[in-house]
Amino acid sequence: MSVLAAPLNQQAAGSPARVAHLEGAFLAERVTVLEERLRELEDENVALRQERAMVEAVLTQSAAELRTPMSLILGYQRLMEANPRLRALFEWDGEARQLAEGMGNAVERMHSVMDELSILSRVLAGRMELTIGRVKLAEVLARALSTFTEPMRQRRIALRFERVNFPNAIDADEALLDMVFRHLLSNAIRYTPDDGSILLAARVIPGATPGGVLRFSITDSGVGIAQENLERIFGVYAGPADSSLPPAEKSGFLSPGIGLGLVVCKRIVEAHNGRLWAESPGHDPDRCPGSTFIVVLPVKERQAE
């Protein structure tokens, strides 16, 4: 029995060593696999950074290169409007006047797109430099609303504006604030059915900061937002817009957006040390429970306006 026991004891003694060897080999293999995957992820990350840098460069360059020809077109348009013979022609010939007005609207739209491209490139690059000045909120809102006066009239959307302790002005970047209001109004219109309503409300809430904070909200009677999407909509959410559509149709019910508007708005508001969020009972295209977008911005007191 002792003769048989010796090999068995040797085998038993060797088992832990073999198990340890196998475990070590397995771990080494897994480490190798993980290291290879890590290198792949690093390469993918580098590629993504390069791709993002290329997109930012294209946006910036496109906006810059378009400015020169668009400035020339804008200049020619103003010369046409100032020319006495052409002005007389436009007054006499309704078709010629309609063509001139159509060209003017297209020029204004292109100018707005270039501004948005320039701002978008700054946002994506993380270069949110603010040009802070004293901004008259009533004027900014009036400009934003004028963009959508005709689409709202055509779709019979009622607009109401409630103001409580509305500040005459706040410190902000006027161009960026203008973009925020335009995007939020556009969103409200696109997701509100014909014969719907939009309520704008603004009031100063004292306490949190010197001068308080401005709470601005846009409430629509639209299709609403599902609870799980209240955060997701501030990412890349919607499909690309159809750039061939005229402005009135782009403001049509459930017309697609570019999918980046709310991303940009949120970053702009946060760059102003503010907050932007959405509230809604839920999504229901039949009942249309509506949704509300709230912007909160700090208001600084000044001795003189």
- State the DSSP code for 228: G
- State the pLDDT at residue 222: 92
Q: Is residue 303 one of the residues assigned to a domain? A: no
Cα–Cα distances in Å, from 27 out to 96, 133, 188, 198, 251? Answer: 80, 61, 56, 62, 59
For residue 191, give the CATH number of its domain.
3.30.565.10
Q: Domain ends where: 83, 106, 127?
A: 127
* 86 & 150 share domain: no
- State the pLDDT at residue 21: 74
Q: Domain ends where: 82, 111, 127?
A: 127
* 161 & 93 share domain: no
* 113 & 41 share domain: yes
Domains of the chain: total: 2
Q: Is residue 292 one of the residues assigned to a domain? A: yes
Q: Residues in the chain, how many?
A: 305
* 120 & 137 share domain: no
- State the pLDDT at residue 275: 93
* 193 & 222 share domain: yes
CB count within 10 Å of CB 56 equals 18
Q: What one-letter code names the amino acid at 255?
A: S
* 147 & 287 share domain: yes
Low-confidence stretches of the chain (pLDDT beneath 70): 1-14, 51-64, 124-127, 208-211, 236-260, 300-305
Give the residue among 203, 211, 206, 141 at the shortest CA–CA distance from 171. 211
Tell me phi and psi for residue 237, to 5 degrees: -120, -55
* 109 & 207 share domain: no
Strands (E), 168-237: 169-173, 197-205, 213-220
Interacting residues of 235 by C-beta distance below 8 A, sequence separation 6+: 263
- State the pLDDT at residue 51: 67
- State the pLDDT at residue 277: 95
CA distance 179 to 120: 11
